[in-house]
Chain A
Amino acid sequence: MRFAFTDDQNMLRDTVREVLQRECVPEVVRAAWEGSPERARAVWDTLAETGVIGMTASEQAGGMAMSELDLVLPLEEAGYAALPGPIVDTVAVGIPLLEAAGTDAQKERWLGPAVAGKARIVVSLGDQSIVAHAVSADVLIAERGGAAYCVPLAEASISVERSVDRARELGRVSFEADTQYQMRQDVDTTALFMLARERAALGTAAQLIGLSRRMLDMAVQYAKDREQFGKPIGAQQAIKHRLANALIEQEFARPTVYRAGWSMATSAPDADINVSLAKIYAGQAAKFVAKEALQVHGAIGYTIECDLHMWMKRAWALAAVHGDEAYHRERVGRHIL
């Protein structure tokens, strides 16, 4: 038993952290909100240069053949920075799906560019038609009627939907389920999509713990800076206890997510249950931390001038996607009861 990341995994996290700290500053997230995603695209390019975008691709495809466990820390950092863009869809789900089920032509067209950060993949699992980042991504991998499709988004019809988190660029996508888009039929696409769902839930959980950590950092900083009654509000026990509770929620969700990553990477028999625990605890923690962080900020937190709202709204959205609490709790319930 050894519950710790390797030096290599920690180094990769540090690299991602440094890139995002430097390039994915709150103004970049705000710009993406306001319809100017150019700077966020530039962050994506930098991440691709570090190899993070292509990390799950095989070495043959220019990637690093990294596992679900390797993914967890970089995705946590993406959550911390509220990085705009389909990083879970592309890195955790799309690239592995494309490599496993794409035809030669589909791989030829999309795999290299995806690894290089030039093409962004979004994924639609289980006939879901509203897809985050569909508006700006390049290619869609979709599950329709049990079959797999790889559709250039330029050839699909997309109607814009408005997310509470504007940076998610939601689109309702429809396309002709035509054989020209169909992916390989000689592979078990059902199994691949099942795996894809687990990866999406895991990746989302990892982002959620990063979001929690950032919201808590913001609230702690605010509690140290903001003075009322002649002292920082963080000196008041009422504030201290809220923030202590937020830290506890976050810190217990964290190993739950890491364990799920390890279970998936080692194909442990209870991997799906561990992914469900991860998604539930990361979602619960993010929603809890959001609420406490807002209360600690007071009125300024209740404005869109304060950065906090971008992280809160991302947290609300991500806690509900790829299986909300009820879905995952039911899955655990069937396993244990």
Chain B
Amino acid sequence: MDLDFTDSENAFRQECRAWLEANVPRESLPSGDTREGFALHLQWEHKLFDAGWAAVSWPKQYGGREATLFEWLIFEEEYYRLGAPSRVTQNGIFLLAPTLFEFGTDEQKERILRPMARGDVAWGQAWSEPNAGSDLASLKSTARRVEGGWRLSGQKTWSTRAAFCDMAYGLFRTDPEQTRHRGLTYFMFPLDAEGITVRGVDRLDGDEGFAEIFLEDVFVADTDVIGEVNQGWSVAMATTGSERGLSLRSPGRFVATAARLIDLYHRYRDRSDPVLRDEVIQAWMDAQVYRWFTFQTVTRMVQGESIGPDSSMNKVFWSEMDVRTHETALAIVGEALELDEGSDSAIDGGHWMKGFQFALAGPIYAGTNEIQRNIIAERVLGLPRK
């Protein structure tokens, strides 16, 4: 066991810190979940990519710098410590790309990865359907075989930022004779194709962060199928594993949130009572504990272990920690909590209420925490499914 970073890991930290300190916008950008903010975030992504920071762990040929997993975590720590913009490319970089690396053809990787990481092509996910949420395998959208490709029909929903995206990916039923996990195929499709209608949906915080996608006989070429036809479920599971595990939620952002909470506590200390003080301490400790749990997990991955259903524990922990941390912050903010973004008197620009509303999504997306707990009970503890 060596819980110090190595010299080369420290050098990597210095390198990303220097670049980020020189380049992170001084003023925070408008929300990336609005049309205007999304465009500004994409410009930031171009800048990140051109300097080689958009996808640090990727191979160099696709614009990465072949960073180790620990270096990636270090990058994330520095990124969030400086309050750099949220990553609007994450549905591509962290969800689709791992699937492409594992199942994609060389042609697909060559065509898709660099524009994805630079934000030249923005990707949204299209998993859920109106009647297939937690029970994703009950999805109804279909793909019909035609000359040279497929025709996609159906309805997808809760697609993050899809109202502003160029492309999306999701599962469609290609074998109508099969049910549930069998007979599904993983497709990529352009959101401006003929037969597609995208309708933005305002989220809890009022931003147009969601969208519904309606597909009517949309043509998709064979080259936009990932993996084998009818094997889409197992192809997709590779992505959801990384979504609920490490990829989307490295510890850096929670450590940074805890540091901002402590700063808030100091500024409004006169409002605090011993209970709040304890909650602030607990929030800081939770972030630390999550960080070390992650380092332990990453060591297992580096040693070649597969994490599998253990990643569900991460997801439950960080999502519920994030809600608690924001609840504590709002308790410190007090009655000013209702002052929304754009209100002159809002504390920290209404950031805490905004963050709280965002945090509330955590226990729901990427597989609800109820589903995660079922996975933990059945696949880690071995309890009977029925």
Contact = CB atoms under 8 A, between A and B. Distances in A.
The 5 closest A-B pairs by CB, nearest first: A240-B377, A244-B376, A244-B373, A234-B383, A3-B299
A231 interface: yes
Given A1-B4, A256-B292, A258-B1, A336 B383 contact: no
B3 A337 contact: no
Nearest to B372: A244
A251 B370 CA distance: 18
A262 B3 contact: yes
Nearest to A232: B384
Contacts of B210: none
A220 B317 contact: no
29 contacts: A1-B2, A1-B4, A1-B5, A3-B1, A3-B3, A3-B298, A4-B303, A224-B384, A231-B386, A235-B383, A241-B370, A241-B374, A241-B377, A243-B381, A243-B383, A244-B316, A244-B374, A247-B380, A251-B293, A251-B313, A256-B289, A277-B285, A329-B281, A332-B281, A332-B284, A332-B285, A336-B262, A336-B281, A336-B284
Given A4-B296, A337-B277, A281 B289 contact: yes
Interface residues of A, number: 41
Contacts of B94: none
B317 A247 contact: no
B382 interface: yes
A237 B293 contact: no
B3 A259 contact: yes
A30 B377 CA distance: 30
Given A1-B299, A243-B381, A258-B296, 11 more contacts: A2-B302, A6-B1, A69-B1, A220-B381, A234-B384, A237-B373, A241-B370, A244-B376, A251-B293, A254-B296, A329-B281
Interface of A: 1-6, 69, 220, 223-224, 231-232, 234-235, 237, 239-241, 243-245, 247-248, 251-256, 258-259, 262-263, 277, 280-281, 329, 332-333, 336-337
Nearest to B69: A1
A241 to B, nearest CB: 5
A interface SS class: helix
B interface SS class: helix
A244 B377 contact: yes
Given A240-B374, A252-B317, A262-B1, A235 B295 contact: no
Task: Name the residue among B372, B381, B386 with the largest chain A CB count within 10 angstroms.
Answer: B381
Given A5-B1, A337-B281, A240 B386 contact: no
A329 B383 contact: no
B341 interface: no
Contact of B295 (A5, A237, A255): A255
B110 interface: no
Nearest to B5: A1
Contacts of B278: 329, 333
